[in-house]
Amino acid sequence: MSSIQEVSYFPEIYPDELLYSVIARYIRHTGVAQTAALDVLFGTKGAKPSYFLPTRLDAFVQRIPKGREITVRRVALENTILPFYTAFRSPAYLEELLELMSGASSLFSQKVGAATGSATRARLRYCPDCNDDALQQFGEPYWMRRHQLDTSLVCPSHGSLLVDSSVDVSRNVRNYVSANSANCPSSSPFSAQVVGDDMDKLNRIALVGHAMLDSWRVPLLTDGTTLRQLVIASGFKSRKKGQVARAQLSDAIVRHFGSVLEIWPQLSSGQSHERSWRCRLVSESPFYQAIVFSFVSPLPKSQISSTPFGDGPWGCPNPLIAHAVEKPVTKITVRRNRGAYVGEFECSCGYVHTRRVDDDGTLHPPRLRSFGPSAIPTLETSVAAGETCKAIASKLGVSGPSVAVIARTHGIDVPWSLRSESPCTQGGAKSGRKKVRKDRQPPKKYYIPVAADRRFSKTDWTQVDDELAKNVHAEADRIRQLPPPARVTVNALAHAIPRGYLLQRPLSRLPKTKAALANVVEIPDHALRRKMRAAIAAEMERGHAPTPTKLLRLVGRRTDRLELARAVLNEVLGRDGSPGRRARSESDRD
């Protein structure tokens, strides 16, 4: 077994440089072919170039001079984007990926495949100002890790947009290409088009991605807190225990970032993408994790708890209280209901009201949920003064039925009664159903007859069964006598007789009808035999008997029923072509 030979030269690794870039510079500096360089560095010519998560690192570090103090862990954490994929994962997951990157196992691509599926990279990116700094400090540019992240569209160090190079990485990477003035020209297009205040938001997202790269040094979450727990603690809690309200979270992210999300196709607000990226939120994909974390983490509380109703405080529509401040409401509960958001606003005066906002932004008027103790003095004074229900309702800004409900809630007796005693909403909504007078016939829409009422007796199923069975037999006889022979089926009977719909339902209450159907309903072969006999009789009236194949043409069937046609012909005709016994006996009776 041959010993592993160290390389005599290996270039210096620059700050935040991709291992892909280091190897590309090694090939350019030494002038050797790529396959020969891979054989020297990895011990095999078949090592596949990878610019973000390479493998065979154990074989690679064994060939670097020992004095360089290069280890698998150091290369993986400082010169690949592995920490970006493990920032919000457990330490055990990081160690597992490190072990897979050490060897050449194919399990590595399967392990991180789901996480890397959201990548939007098409070309390697660079910052022209960073390249100028590298030229002055090191004499050559290089590919930086932080510029290649899905979240990096700007360079926070220089406050400028990143530029797409001419190195295409949208497909499988086949060659190591070092950064130079040819593939990193100053006239290349920007990686994104940004207007207005979007630059600050992109800068925020990029900084979160950079922090994820350094998460192995400085964790983003402490005390064992997970990203899911952080999102729930920020106010995006679902009704299900331990679940994130993803629809509410995604809508809040769209409101906060706005047109910035249109830069990434997978975050587009279009209908075709909406459901898919909502389902990916707080998932294992680092790209979505970065977007969520940049929204819920160190942002101001007003941005974290942003609602469809804007940031608080909010006004209180209580007509009986003159608040010292214009917007005294600070407590709000938002829930999702039938394609819209409903906010419940609770004021310190006890007045609780709700508002609804549709997905298109339409804001509906407030609706009273509870008046609170502020209504007690007004109710007591007005009732004692003998005011009418309508006058009191005008003071409170509610409907008449709501006045009765409010009074009953606080134990206040009122001298008038209402026709409708059913519960009603206190926001002025109409009562659900009018009371029916006993001296009038109730509408069928609101009244279900019971057996005790003589006007609405129970259905006599015995009588219905007798009538249905009789009608079934009569209709079956009529169908059999039709000039073009037709098959007797349940559907044909159901469409022709009164209450025929009952034939298509369970017949446990209709035993006679069930027996009648069993006797008259034909299977396809029986109906076909009748049809063939009628065709034979018609041909015999013309003076000749049909052949089996002609009989099939007359009844519209194919040759797969040839045996049945011959059998029917043998029943009706003799084997020599003359009328059989059955035909002769029928003519004798006539």
pLDDT digits (tens, 9 = 90+) for 277-302: 666 665 678 888 888 888 887 543 33
Would you give the DSSP letter of residue 160? E
State which of 250, 278, 304 marks the end of a domain.
304
Residue 45 lies in a domain: yes
**Average pLDDT along the chain:** 78
Q: Average the pLDDT over 301-318 and give the result.
A: 64
The reply to whether 149 and 262 lie within a common domain is: no
The reply to whether 249 and 176 lie within a common domain is: no
Pairwise pLDDT comparison (332 vs 426), residue with the higher score: 332
Amino acid at 406: I
The reply to whether 21 and 155 lie within a common domain is: yes
pTM: 0.52
The reply to whether 274 and 137 lie within a common domain is: no
The reply to whether 140 and 156 lie within a common domain is: yes
d(CA 554, CA 533): 11
Q: Please report the pLDDT score of residue 9 as a whole number.
A: 92
Q: Please report the pLDDT score of residue 460 as a whole number.
A: 84
d(CA 76, CA 53): 8
Amino acid at 412: I
Containing structural domain, residue 79? 1-183+203-220
Residue 447 lies in a domain: no
The reply to whether 476 and 585 lie within a common domain is: no
Pairwise pLDDT comparison (207 vs 2), residue with the higher score: 207
Label residue 15 exposed, middle or buried (CB < 10 Å: 0-12, 13-18, 19+): exposed
The reply to whether 475 and 576 lie within a common domain is: no
State which of 174, 193, 220 marks the end of a domain.
220
CA 247 to chain centre: 9
Residue 455 lies in a domain: no
Encoded tokens for 451: 């057996």
| Structural domains of the chain, count | 4
Residue 188 predicted with pLDDT over 70:
no
Query: Which alpha helices (DSSP H) does 117-193 contain, by range?
Result: 128-138
H/E element, 480: helix 461-480
Torsion-angle region of 4 (φ positive above 0: left; ψ -120 to 50: alpha; else: beta): beta
Residue 11 predicted with pLDDT over 90:
yes
pLDDT digits (tens, 9 = 90+) for 369-417: 888 888 888 888 888 888 888 888 888 888 888 888 888 888 888 777 6
Pairwise pLDDT comparison (456 vs 76), residue with the higher score: 76
d(CA 510, CA 225): 65
Label residue 300 exposed, middle or buried (CB < 10 Å: 0-12, 13-18, 19+): exposed
Residue 209 lies in a domain: yes
State which of 522, 545, 569 marks the end of a domain.
522
Query: Which of 45-54, 260-269, 301-310, 543-552 shows the lowest per-residue confidence on average (mean pLDDT)?
Result: 301-310
Q: What is the 3-state secondary structure (H, E, C) of 539-574?
A: HHHCCCCCCHHHHHHHHCCCHHHHHHHHHHHHHHEC
The reply to whether 247 and 157 lie within a common domain is: no
The reply to whether 167 and 288 lie within a common domain is: no
Residue 341 lies in a domain: no
Q: Strand pairing partners for 354?
A: 344, 367
Residue 544 predicted with pLDDT over 80:
yes
The reply to whether 25 and 98 lie within a common domain is: yes
Q: Please report the pLDDT score of residue 179 as a whole number.
A: 92
The reply to whether 488 and 500 lie within a common domain is: yes
Q: Average the pLDDT over 88-108 and give the result.
A: 81
The reply to whether 258 and 173 lie within a common domain is: no
- Length reported for the chain: 590
Residue 485 lies in a domain: yes
Residue 335 lies in a domain: no
